[in-house]
Structure 1
Amino acid sequence: MKVKILAVLAGIGLLVHQYFIWFYAPIAQSGLVQKIFYMHLPCSWWALVSFFVVFVASILYLFKRDEVFDRVAGAAAEVGVLFASLALLTGSVWARAEWGHWWLWDPKLTTALIMWYVYAGYLVLRNTPMGRDRKALVCAVLGIVAFLDVPLVFFSAKLWGSAHPDGLARKSSGMEVRMWHTVFTGLAAFGFVWGAMLLSRVKQLAHHARLEALFVWDDE
């Protein structure tokens, strides 16, 4: 029921967000291409939230050894990699229009790409043939260690400077009010999408675990 409610809210939120993007938010100096920012930012933020959930769930698994936390960590990692992929793709399109290049080895972009590779590797590990308990333990440790890169992504622009808008924000006069409204609408809409996807995937993993247990019982 919770997933259905979140899915409905996500659909409504995305429609409202699209209206805000194309009809409410003003056109920036860089032109229409700037509007991809309203898709790029929510994907980036919810990717970081996903990896924080992986971090917390991994810690809880180490302390309680409850498979629920392992499933939450796995589901959050999958959703996080998806959102991070969308953030990198939309960011590349935006970069091509703004900078004339699809990619720059900028501190912000580089740490984000490293983060993507680390969590993609985490997902590969989760699908390797290994005992369930041992795999959950190894993944929990990696889920904690992998999070070390997440604060670097968040603070890289302030630490090392960046061509990314985060690095230029300190020099700008700020966005218009309607732009901020569109940003927050996008964060809310993508938040509903994120919640629906996460809960759905956790339930799928729980069903998969039950089926595996049934097959093991039948073999015995």
Structure 2
Amino acid sequence: MHGFANPARFLRIARWLMPLCMGVGIVLTAVALGWGLFVVPPERLQGETVRILFLHVPAAWLGMAGWMGIAAASFTEVVWRHPLAAIAARACAVPGALFTAICLVTGSLWGRPAWGTWWVWDGRLTSMLVLLFLYFGWLALARASEGVEGGAARAPAIFGLVGAVNIPIIHYSVIWWKVQHQPPSITMGKSAIDGAFLWPLLAATLGFTLIFAGVVLARMRALLASQQAEARLRRKAMAEVEF
């Protein structure tokens, strides 16, 4: 793993892995969404509204996965001081926040016909909203700590680790508390979803995950290039001053 922390080696891998993830992800997502929106039959109880499932579930998964990526990168930064860890966390934050927002919007659109209301303050919805606020807080903290050295520079990493406590709360909220949200339909080795809905859902989730990975790699490349450009400018400025 330490080998992948080398920026030059990472750039060589990301140069071909990023377009591969994006290309396969876009194709798979387009096929899965077309399958789910136009081929899958209406659900017996929810009718046509069940089609929101194919965007809502992948968005929920990637909203949580984005913060898990921040937490993993933060742990790596704090423990091993990997040079790419902070960049990886920053790369995960924006797409993670975007998918969290999509999850909340699609959940509200789905909840209106299913529950008769746009929003309920139950454990699952509230903890997901907290996750979006955590993303906003992390992004603000990361921006404020740019150019800072010492312990203050690791403040976003510590915040990322502390915020990870919310992830199991989101996952187990439908089990711990009586909530409006339905319990998990897919568990380890079992699924309560009919195969007609399950397979396009899994394909959409995989497709969106590959797109997410491609976006994160692209953002890491851009952030790393920006840092390298700033370092070259600083060295050039110092050389001119010395001259």
TM-score, normalised with respect to structure 2: 0.84
- The runs of at least 4 consecutive aligned structure 1 residues that moved more than 6 Å come to 167-170
In 1, the alpha carbon distance for the partners of 2:24 and 2:162 equals 34
Pick aligned residue for 2:50 from 34, 39, 58? 34
Residue 118 of structure 1: CA displacement?
A: 1.1
Residue 187 of structure 1: CA displacement?
A: 0.9
In 1, the alpha carbon distance for the partners of 2:171 and 2:81 equals 30
In 2, the alpha carbon distance for the partners of 1:30 and 1:74 equals 39
Residue 191 of structure 1: CA displacement?
A: 1.1
Residue 129 of structure 1: CA displacement?
A: 5.5
SS across alignment from 1:175 = coil
Residue 165 of structure 1: CA displacement?
A: 2.1
The equivalent of 2:218 in structure 1 is 200
> Percent of pairs identical after alignment?
24
Unaligned runs of 5+ in 2: 1-15, 239-243
1:8 aligns with 2:26: no
1:75 aligns with 2:91: yes
Residue 167 of structure 1: CA displacement?
A: 6.5
Pick aligned residue for 1:212 from 230, 235, 240? 230
The equivalent of 1:87 in structure 2 is 103
1:145 aligns with 2:162: yes
Task: Report which of the two structures shows the higher radius of gyration computed on alpha carbons.
Answer: 2
1:181 aligns with 2:228: no
In 2, the alpha carbon distance for the partners of 1:168 and 1:4 equals 33
C-alpha contact (below 8 Å) 2:124/2:181 kept by paired residues: yes
Correspondences of 1:99-114 after superposition (within 5 Å):
99-114=115-130
In 2, the alpha carbon distance for the partners of 1:217 and 1:136 equals 22
In 2, the alpha carbon distance for the partners of 1:168 and 1:11 equals 26
Residue 66 of structure 1: CA displacement?
A: 2.4
In 1, the alpha carbon distance for the partners of 2:138 and 2:220 equals 17
1:49 aligns with 2:69: no
Residue 208 of structure 1: CA displacement?
A: 1.2
SS across alignment from 1:101 = coil
TM-score, normalised with respect to structure 1: 0.92
SS across alignment from 1:67 = coil
In 2, the alpha carbon distance for the partners of 1:145 and 1:121 equals 12
User: Number of matched residues?
Assistant: 218
C-alpha contact (below 8 Å) 2:186/2:192 kept by paired residues: yes
In 1, the alpha carbon distance for the partners of 2:192 and 2:180 equals 16
Residue 169 of structure 1: CA displacement?
A: 8.6
Residue 174 of structure 1: CA displacement?
A: 2.8
In 1, the alpha carbon distance for the partners of 2:186 and 2:82 equals 43
C-alpha contact (below 8 Å) 2:174/2:183 kept by paired residues: yes
The equivalent of 1:166 in structure 2 is 183
The equivalent of 1:17 in structure 2 is 32
Cα RMSD for the two superposed structures = 2.0
In 1, the alpha carbon distance for the partners of 2:185 and 2:97 equals 26
Q: Which amino acid aligns with 2:80?
A: K
Deviations 1:113-168 (A, max 9, x none): 01110121000111125534445411111110010111101111101121112369
